[in-house]
């Protein structure tokens, strides 16, 4: 019999049965009242989940479409973007700017670091800066960025600059009230906290961001064009064939999140992160980022031990998929996600598989030590935050 | 009880249960051997289905991503594209060129017309022309373009020009052997003949097209970049998070098509088209396009009768979804698709609903007249081409 699998990668995350049942439905016509009603509801629920009154658009595509849209429709010739780059996803933002030959100032930090408000403000104060881009969570390192205070610092030195936050892995798992924190462009993807397979990405656009977008009519972008997408918003009718069955399923997942209440969802992620970190400590391991995000825990592999071997044991012998480091971090870390439809028991399975994988690969671990520490955390958590 | 539905729109088409069962599976990690094996198989099966040895890439996105990629990576500054425009999809190709400010020569024809080889060659002979773009089927009018002979004529006058064919609605339903007909860039989408929901698009790229793409490194495109997509081809590892559950299901649908045999699939579409056209004639109605494609039948609404009313009756009373005209053709036609997982009985349901809708809205139709004519065609078709 095939292994019974538990998916703990920082995207894709597990999808609830209620949502997958929607995915199995027969195809249906997308230029229809049915679609328009679903898209309207998806957009309205995304506003609730992102805590914003801004327009929210949904693209059929990877999270990268939302990133591209947030940049190319905004940064005009002669102006520049400030990008925080301290991991693979910062590098992606940089690559997008470079491919489009946009003005660019990169605040480059070591992997695992998070920028201070002062560091970002220092770059943002140049009046040529049209927008600042960074992440709620840099998924490749597990680092959390202080979106609230960085935003305040940026607005202080450059009130005109737009504030673009990649929440692809962070959204829903971590608090990021878009309006309260002054986020003009908030990017998200379906396959993380939003409890769906990959295929949709989201972008919220503030009124002042729309003003900038309107001035960029000639931007070299078609599929990712915000002006084209906006034309269809009043009728909830996107310009290009939407993956309508995914929208329908996303609507179901959003209903579940709204029913639970987003603050409860945040707390659940925090509890699972805390449990995992207690286990990491009990196992004598170290966290990688200075300031860890709540949606995943990134752990350094013990000196001399290739994390790939541990991950392979966890997956091939126990059916638990943890993620490796990306790029030059491959073999050097474990990434254990808490995002989306992830329960306390899933988290314990992840810790158990990590322990078993470490032991099988020669690291002297006392089986159950991490589990007991994590159980302690779960035991103290209010019942309603557990799945 | 909700109406039992039959979907006969020219995208999305119906999805077989075997494929939908895949869509319901739990999410899984995309940076994995599992994904790489699936993508390899998808690409190889798409080569079989498109009858090509060229590289085939799959994008997560609407068909428009494949269109955009086929244009922006190819047409360089100072060169130009020839685009045939005789319907909504030709207009989309034109819009893409315009948004990117590319050199452009539009061969504009009345809706419903198909270009002759001479008309296209006349535009293509200019040495500044880098590529010619047109459709296998212009879905908005139901017109079929003569890809084989237009290609020959273009190569005769301009052997260097690339040949880009939008097969989004036509692929698999109509013959278009990519290599035999010299198609350099062949675009397709998941939600038509490929028997999937929307969400994936495909593009085949010939070796001579790759040469042009290589010279266009600086093209303003990131998500739709062919060079980025190519980097991952040897490992079957796309640059941006693929909608991996859709790839898995697409692989299943492709297996079904390959098992059936693509020539049989073409014949099935032709038989369903022929049956529908026999019905149209028997009902005293007229086809819209001069040269009708096999993947859908587009019928003029009788004088003075708004097709929207007929379509509404068919859908709201009988659960059969036919498509309306698009843009300025709305209210003036019926579009009945034969693409994908569509059976003889589905086709008869479409005709029955059309008859009932016409009668309910005051058009003097003899119920069953169209059905009988269509049945005659089905009765004569070899058993193996029917679903």
Distance from first CA to last CA of chain A, Å, rounded? 27
Per domain, the residue ranges of chain B are 6-12+261-385, 17-259
Q: What's the predicted TM-score (pTM) here?
A: 0.97
Query: pLDDT in tens for each of the 387 residues of chain B?
Result: 889 999 999 999 999 999 999 999 999 999 999 999 999 999 999 999 999 999 999 999 999 999 999 999 999 999 999 999 999 999 999 999 999 999 999 999 999 999 999 999 999 999 999 999 999 999 999 999 999 999 999 999 999 999 999 999 999 999 999 999 999 999 999 999 999 999 999 999 999 999 999 999 999 999 999 999 999 999 999 999 999 999 999 999 999 999 999 999 999 999 999 999 999 999 999 999 999 999 999 999 999 999 999 999 999 999 999 999 998 899 999 999 999 999 999 999 999 999 999 999 999 999 999 999 999 999 999 999 998
- What does CATH list as the number for A17-259? 3.40.640.10
8 Å CB contact of A15 and B27: yes
Q: Indicate the residue of B21, B60, B198 with minimum beta-carbon distance to A241.
A: B198
In which band, very low, low, confident or very high, does the pLDDT at A330 lie, cut at 50, 70 and 90?
Answer: very high
Task: Tell me the per-residue pLDDT of A81-127, one tens digit each, with 9 for 90 and over.
Answer: 999 999 999 999 999 999 999 999 999 999 999 999 999 999 999 99
Size of interface A-B (CB pairs under 8 A): 176
8 Å CB contact of A244 and B197: yes
8 Å CB contact of A198 and B222: no
Angle between helices A244-260 and A262-282 (to 10 degrees): 80
In this model, does residue A338 exceed pLDDT 90? yes
8 Å CB contact of B27 and A21: no
- Return the DSSP state at A186: E
Which of A223, A229, A321 to probe the B interface (max B CBs under 10 A)?
Answer: A223
Q: Residue A336: helix, strand or coil by DSSP?
A: strand
8 Å CB contact of A241 and B100: no
| Distance in angstroms (rounded) separating the CA atoms of residues B273 and B293 | 8
Tell me the CATH number of domain A6-12+261-385, given options 3.90.1150.10, 3.40.50.970, 2.40.50.180, 2.60.120.590.
3.90.1150.10
Q: What's residue B387's pLDDT? A: 85
- Phi and psi for A205 in degrees, rounded to 5? -130, 120
Q: What's residue A378's pLDDT? A: 98
How many CA atoms, within 13 angstroms, populate the side-chain half-sphere of residue B25?
21
What average pLDDT does range A152-165 have in this prediction? 98
8 Å CB contact of A7 and B21: no
| Distance in angstroms (rounded) separating the CA atoms of residues A366 and A376 | 17
Percentage of residues in chain A with pLDDT exceeding 90? 98
> With b meaning 16 or more CB within 10 Å and e meaning fewer, what string describes B307-331?
bbbbbbbbbeebebbbbbbbeebee
Of B65, B51, B97, B48, give the one whose Cα is nearest residue B202.
Answer: B65
Distance from CA of A240 to the nearest CA of B (A): 6
Task: Tell me the per-residue pLDDT of A341-357, one tens digit each, with 9 for 90 and over.
Answer: 999 999 999 999 999 99
The mean of the pLDDT values for chain A is 97
Q: What's residue A44's pLDDT? A: 98
Residue B25: is it exposed, middle or buried by C-beta count within 10 angstroms (0-12/13-18/19+)?
middle
Of A276, A296, A298, A279, give the one whose Cα is nearest residue A287.
Answer: A298
In which band, very low, low, confident or very high, does the pLDDT at A7 lie, cut at 50, 70 and 90?
Answer: very high
In this model, does residue A214 exceed pLDDT 90? yes
Of B90, B98, B54, give the one whose Cα is nearest residue B72.
Answer: B98
Which residues partner with B336 through β-bridges? B297
In 10 A of CB B52, how many CB atoms?
21
How many CA atoms, within 13 angstroms, populate the side-chain half-sphere of residue A348?
16
Q: What's residue B328's pLDDT? A: 87
Name the closest residue on chain A to residue B97, using Cα atoms: A222
């Amino acid at each position: 019999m095939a292994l019974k699998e538990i998916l703990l990668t920082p995207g894709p995350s597990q999808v609830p049965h209620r949502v997958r049942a929607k995915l199995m439905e027969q195809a249906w016509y997308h230029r229809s009242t049915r679609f328009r009603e679903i898209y309207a509801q998806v957009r309205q629920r995304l506003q609730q989940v992102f805590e914003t009154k801004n327009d929210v658009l949904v693209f059929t595509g990877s999270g990268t479409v939302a990133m591209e849209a947030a940049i190319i429709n905004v940064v005009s010739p002669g102006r520049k973007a400030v990008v925080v780059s301290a991991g693979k996803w910062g590098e992606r933002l940089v690559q997008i700017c470079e491919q489009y030959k946009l003005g660019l100032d990169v605040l480059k930090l070591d992997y695992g670091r998070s920028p201070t408000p002062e560091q970002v403000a220092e770059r943002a104060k140049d009046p040529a800066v049209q927008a600042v881009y960074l992440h709620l969570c840099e998924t490749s390192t597990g680092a959390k960025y202080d979106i609230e205070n960085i935003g305040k610092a940026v607005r202080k030195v450059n009130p005109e600059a737009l504030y673009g936050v990649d929440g692809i892995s962070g959204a829903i798992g971590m608090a990021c009230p878009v309006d309260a924190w002054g986020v003009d462009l908030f990017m998200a993807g379906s396959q993380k906290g939003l409890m769906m397979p990959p295929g949709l990405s989201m972008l919220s656009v503030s009124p002042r961001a729309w003003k900038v977008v309107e001035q960029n009519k000639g931007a070299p972008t078609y599929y990712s064009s915000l002006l084209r997408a906006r034309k269809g918003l009043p009728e909830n009718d996107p310009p290009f064939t939407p993956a309508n069955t995914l929208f329908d399923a996303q609507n179901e997942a959003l209903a579940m999140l709204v029913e639970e209440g987003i603050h409860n969802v945040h707390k659940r992620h925090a509890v699972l992160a805390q449990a995992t970190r207690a286990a990491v400590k009990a196992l004598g391991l170290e966290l990688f980022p200075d300031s860890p995000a709540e949606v995943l825990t990134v752990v350094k592999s013990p000196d001399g031990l290739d994390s790939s071997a541990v991950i392979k044991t966890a997956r091939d012998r126990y059916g638990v998929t943890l993620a490796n480091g990306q790029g030059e971090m491959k073999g050097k870390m474990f990434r254990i996600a808490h995002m989306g439809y992830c329960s306390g028991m899933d988290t314990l399975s992840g810790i158990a598989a990590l322990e078993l994988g470490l032991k099988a690969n020669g690291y002297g671990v006392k089986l159950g030590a991490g589990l007991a520490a994590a159980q302690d955390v779960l035991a103290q958590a209010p019942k309603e935050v557990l799945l």
